[in-house]
Each structure stands twice: as structure tokens, then as C-alpha cells.
Chains A and B, each alone.
Chain A
């Protein structure tokens, strides 16, 4: 995981300094990106969804998907007890099977980071949503304070939301500067920084062209990950939206040498769906992204289906839901 301070110049990004100099130049650049044909993108995503994944490949994919899960609870009713339970589940998703890997991270609100950290330590990352999640409707000072608070509480990763209003109004530079400022707020006293994930809320951006532009905008601003959704708006993650984002990270690495991660979140509930995403990662971005450092699933209910399928692979039989822990 990159730990350099955000002020370090990234060689590949220097070429884009003029792009991000003004609202006008940023707009010209983002609107100059190749368009996305909706029908074609959806057809491609559907085509990849028909790959038939069997036996050994499926067993491998299930374990990888478990390792990529950001186990999430983002409810107003979350309590310390609830997130402690989730933290234990993250460490040992299947208590009956010690070979089952831990998940990538636990994702909670900023005030609950400490509770999770106390249990998972360094074994599983703790991600916190910040910047007035999920709406992003607050003044910049508040958003940055929210971020700093979560980092100070020990968050390894910060999931920020963009100001969709500013984006849709065409104030791209404002969105850019908010991401840059949030990334600076992720820096810890020792100079390392919490991993930054930028959430677009693609259900509100509506078009694939917007998704592609938002992806490039966030990547130019120095994000570590781009993420589809908060999970609070429908539609959340979809295969075609993730396809467009995977194309963006692939093209961005081609152009700058910088690799950015992708996290679809919300609405991915079954192992079958998760495997479709992995196939897409493999064929669109490439197998460099088939790693929890570069691809995550934001999910709360996906994990148990992955566990159920995993058990089916090893025992040959399906177990009922009561054989798996609630959280």
C-alpha cells in the first residue's frame, strides 16, 4: 500500500499539471476523453457475465473475493457492540474453517474506528467513511474535520464522497480541490497517510460519460481508489459502471504509470455476482488488479454467500444460513 506523502511529486502526473490549472482546462480535458457508448458498454458487461467459472477456478475466485471484501456497516443504529461483532467476523469469517482467509477491511463510521481497531489490530484494515457521508453536503471545513477525526481515530482507509452537486454543475475544479484537500487531511503526524477512496455515487451521476470523467478527475487529484457508491442510493454498483471505471484505471496506468484501485459497493449480494466482477477485472483491467490492494467489494451481505459457496465446494453440500454467523 502506498505510504508516500501526498506532496511527493508523482512523475506520471506532472504532465497533467496544466490540465488541472483551471476549471476551463479541466473541463476541456474531461470532455475530451473518449465517450462511452451505453449500449456497447452494457453489452460487453453482460457478455463477460456469461463466463462459466467452474471447480478449481471457482474455489480460487471465492477465496480471493473473501479477501477483497470491505465488510461494512453504515447505519444510524450502529453501536460499539455491533461493530465489535463485525470486527470479529472480519478476522474469522468462518469459525468452523480456519483455512478461510480474513476479509480486507471493516468499513464503519469515523466515531467507531477505535472499537474495530481494538479487535482487528493490524490484521485487517479499518476503513472509515468521512466528508459528510453519504450526501457530502457540508462545508469543506466540516468535511476535512470529519476526515482528520477518522484518521486520528486510527483509520487505515478513508472513504470520501464527492460533491455530486458541484460535479453535475460542471464545477470540476472544486471537486478536484476537495479531493486534493481530503488527501492532505489523510496525512498522519508520522508522514504516512491513510489510503483514500473516492466515492462517486454513480447512481446520481447517471451517465457512463460522467463516470469516466469522475474517474479521471479523482485519479488526477491523487486518490488511491475509486469507488462506485455509498450503498445509500439505487442503483449502486453495477457491472457496466464498474467496467467503465476499470477501463479508466487501466488507461490511467497506461498514461501515467500510476495504478489505482477500484471498489464497487452496494448491491453485490451473491458469490455468483462477485465472480462476474472478478472476471471483468481480469479481462478489462488485467490480473494486476486481482488483489485486495487493487480491488475491493463494499458489501455487508455478500460475505455469507461466499462462505456458503466455499463450504459447498469443500463438502459438496449446501448448508443452511444458520451454519454461518450473522455478523
Chain B
């Protein structure tokens, strides 16, 4: 008899979802003046709540509130700002389960990832930047670094709360105030974060949250009184933002798409490499800009690695995101599912071989099985375009030089992985790969102290670490 794990669902009763949500402006929840839209649970297609769509006028109110708040907030001593950030970090820990459940319901990601990865790193970011708030003059960014002013921040749907933390924590630590727009498919945890700001007695206007779709984001970015734009999302939107702010004195950091190479040499710790490949592409359903979506495996071990990878993929459990044993949850939206399907069909029509393990997918909601394409070459579209889903392209190489050449032969450069037992090769590869992060014998590891950002079409600027402070301080450049 096989070991069938009985369902182990996390209770959703811990979180209270209101039927409708307004905007968070100047420390208060207010009604939007625009229309509204629905946010749904991608695992069931059930409507979760009605969300206000912020109009240009709403965005203007939010930016004005942030400007007013900036006067006081930027004059607070670093130590005082740190107190608020520490308090927020502690409340995030205290309400961690609530945040994790809400994130999984709204986003579709498995509870074990929102609970064990997202929320702990979110809290860690607030703690980390709280620690910097009173030490800015020692960060190596000039003797008396000054905040920029109002930051307009637009974040994606793949890590709603984590991307909020990456943006809000350094901005506040440096003395800026923010107007943040979460993605239209995943606004709920940002709105819960607004409650946490109230709970922490954060001065009104320091954090403002405006919900909406692309137009709201555009209004935030284009607002003349926004001093700094921080965006994480697709390369196409990133380019549009860069065009929109060209010629203004707005500072910007853009963290865009990727098509990361995960390079496995023949002397790699194969079992752990297989684990790293799985974590690299199937973590968060592959909705990761730094996902290791291009596997480059040395020809001499390609068969062995592929056989083990397929075996491992057979043990992945796809289904209810709130089940504690689920490894792969739901695709975030119907739109994204269509995009993944389209690119997969293109992969097949171009002659790559498609494989998925046998798995039952739920009948409602948006689902895509973990999938690999073998026989892929650099000339295939699935080797070049970002799928942003649980789809891995497998390519082979013969020599380290060829691996470097193929890894760098992409318009993107956010991350890369190297698997080898040879230390000197790790250092050599890391210096040759044009990627913001190079992971050695691991993948998808995040830490607030480690800067993150890309080369080429993966954007510019860095988030996280000491470098992440530079993006929110005047005249600071690393």
C-alpha cells in the first residue's frame, strides 16, 4: 500500500476577510473615488473581496499625504524611526500565521512557502533595516545621507508581502515616505499590512497604500511630486516606466524579468543539484523573477540528472495551497495560466520534448503541472522568453566556457546557479556570469543583508543589504 498522506489543511478561520476594502491614505482607510474590482482565490476562483481602484485623484491625495508626513518623518532621529520599524517587524511575527494564510488564499502559493519562507523573510527585512535606521552615516554612503522624499512603489503579485517589505522597509529606514501600489490580483496582504501600520502607531501618511491595476500604477509613477520610483515586475512595464520618467529628476530602481541559468557540472553533488533544480523552478509555481528556468547540464551527466529530476518531480504534490503538504499551489491568475499554456505549446511546436509527472489537478481554479522541456536549444523561444510558471527548459553543454557562453546569452541577468564540488570553478564561474546573484550549490536563497538586482533587461539598482539603502538616499551611489 502506498503512503497516502491525509489532507492537513491550515484553518482559514484565523483570517478575517472583509467584503470590501478601501484605500489606505494618511493613516486611514478611505473609500476610493474610482470604480472597484474583485480579488479572487486562484485555487478556487471564489471571490474574496471587492477592492477599490484608486483614480488619479486618489493617488494625488496619497502622494500629498506622503509629502506632508515626510516633513516630520524625515526629521525624526534614526533611532526613533528604528523603533517603529522594529515594532512593525514584531507585529509581523506575531501575526505571521494570519499573514501566511491570507497570502496563500489571495496568491495561490502553498502555505508551507508563505509560512516558512515569505513571512519570516518579511519580518527579517524590517528587523534588518530597523537596524540600519540610526547608522546611515556609517553605511559608507557619505557622511550625512539624506532621504529622497516620497517614494512611489509598484509591486508584483508573485511575492506580494515580501516585495512590499523589500520596498517599504529600506524607504522608511532612510526617512522617506511611501505610496505603494500592490498588484491587482494580490492586494489583501498589503491591506493587512496597512492595519499593522495602524497597530504600530506609525505616523499618518508615512505609508499609503493605493490599490488598482496598471492605470493606478502609472498615476503613482507619473505623479510630479514623487521623488523616487521603485518597481518590480515585467520588463515591458519596466521599460514603459523608464520612458515615463525619462527627463525628470526621479530616481528609479527597476527589478524586472529573468531567465536564469542553473548550471550543473558533472562533478556536482547530483542529488542536491536535483533538489536545487526543483527548488529553482518549482518554488512558488515558478512565479519567481530569478527562477532557474534554464537548466544547463553537462552532457556527461545529463541522462543521470534528467532521470533523477523526473523521479523527484513525481513526488511533488500539487493542489490545495492551504494543505500543509502541498508543494505546488495554484497559478496566480487565468491570464498567467493562459500565458504559460501558450509558451508551452510553442515549445512543443518548436520540437522540444514536453514531460510532466502524472498528477491530478483540481477541477476549479488555475493549475499547471510541473513541466520540463528536453532537447531545448538556444534557438527555442522557451529557452529565451520568461515563462513565469512551473516550466523548465533543459539544455546541455560540454565545457565550462560553453556553459558561460550559453548562460550569458540572454537579454536578462538577474541570477544564476552553479553546481560543482570544485571550489575554484565556483569562483571562476561567479566572476564570468553576468547576473546579479550567483548561487553556488544552492538556489533561490534570500537574505535581507544580501543585495538583489539585475543586469541588462533585468533592470537596474539593488534592493537589500547596504546597497539597498543607496536607492533611498540622496547622492548616495555605491
Contacts and interface: CB of A to CB of B under 8 A. Distances in A.
Contacts of A278: 3
B270 interface: yes
A265 to B, nearest CB: 22
A36 B269 contact: yes
Interface in B251-295: 267-272, 275-276
A52 B324 contact: yes
A48 to B, nearest CB: 10
Contacts of B116: 50
A52 B267 contact: no
Contacts of B109: none
Nearest to B323: A52
B6 A35 contact: no
Contact of A57 (B6, B269, B441): B6
Interface string A46-67: 0000111111111011000000
A51 B325 contact: yes
Nearest to A250: B311
Main secondary structure of the interface of A (DSSP, over half): helix
A287 B6 contact: no
B7 interface: yes
A40 interface: yes
Nearest to A33: B270
Nearest to A36: B269
A213 B2 CA distance: 30
B181 interface: no
Nearest to A55: B6
Contact of A58 (B6, B7, B324, B421): B6
A247 interface: yes
B271 A57 contact: no
B276 A40 contact: yes
B268 A39 contact: no
B325 A37 contact: no
A282 interface: yes
B2 A287 contact: yes
Contact of B275 (A44, A57, A254): A44
B57 interface: no
Given A40-B276, A57-B4, A50 B441 contact: no
B272 A283 contact: no
B427 interface: no
Interface in A6-49: 34-37, 39-41, 43-44
Contacts of B271: 34, 36, 40-41, 44, 247
Interface in B416-445: 421, 441-442
Nearest to A248: B271
Nearest to A283: B315
B340 to A, nearest CB: 25
A294 to B, nearest CB: 14
A145 interface: no
A24 B318 CA distance: 47
Interface in A266-310: 278-279, 282-283, 287, 290
Contacts of B6: 53-58
Nearest to A61: B3
A34 B268 contact: yes
Contact of B421 (A35, A44, A60): A35
Interface in B1-57: 1-8
Contacts of B315: 283
Contact of B112 (A36, A41, A50, A287): A50
Interface string A193-204: 000000000000
Interface in B85-142: 112, 116
A72 to B, nearest CB: 25
Given A35-B421, A39-B442, A51 B5 contact: yes
B8 A54 contact: yes
A115 B471 CA distance: 77
Nearest to B443: A40
A54 B5 CA distance: 7
B269 A34 contact: yes
A34 B269 CA distance: 5
Contacts of B307: 254
B269 to A, nearest CB: 4
Given A40-B272, A40-B441, A290 B267 contact: no
Contacts of B112: 50
B5 A37 contact: no
Most buried by A among B6, B7, B421, B441: B6
A44 B8 contact: no
A53 B8 contact: yes
Contacts of B267: 34-35
A149 B395 CA distance: 57
Given A35-B267, A35-B421, A40-B442, A60 B272 contact: no
B255 to A, nearest CB: 26
A57 B323 CA distance: 15
A290 B2 CA distance: 8
Contact of A40 (B1, B269, B325): B269
A60 B1 contact: yes
Nearest to B272: A40
A50 B267 CA distance: 30
A247 B272 CA distance: 11
A279 to B, nearest CB: 7
Nearest to B315: A283
Contact of A41 (B2, B8, B272): B272
Contact of B3 (A36, A44, A287): A287
Contacts of A282: 2-3
B155 to A, nearest CB: 28
Contacts of A60: 1, 3
Given A50-B116, A52-B324, A36 B4 contact: no
Interface in B182-235: none
Nearest to A32: B267
Interface in A218-261: 247, 254
A52 B8 contact: yes
Contact of B272 (A36, A58, A61, A254): A36
A60 B272 CA distance: 30
13 contacts: A37-B269, A37-B272, A40-B272, A41-B271, A44-B272, A50-B324, A51-B5, A52-B5, A52-B325, A53-B6, A57-B5, A60-B1, A279-B3
The 5 closest A-B pairs by CB, nearest first: A40-B272, A52-B8, A37-B269, A52-B324, A34-B270
Given A40-B275, A247-B271, 20 more contacts: A34-B268, A34-B269, A34-B271, A35-B267, A36-B269, A39-B441, A40-B269, A40-B271, A40-B276, A40-B442, A44-B271, A53-B8, A54-B5, A54-B6, A54-B8, A56-B4, A57-B5, A282-B2, A283-B315, A287-B2
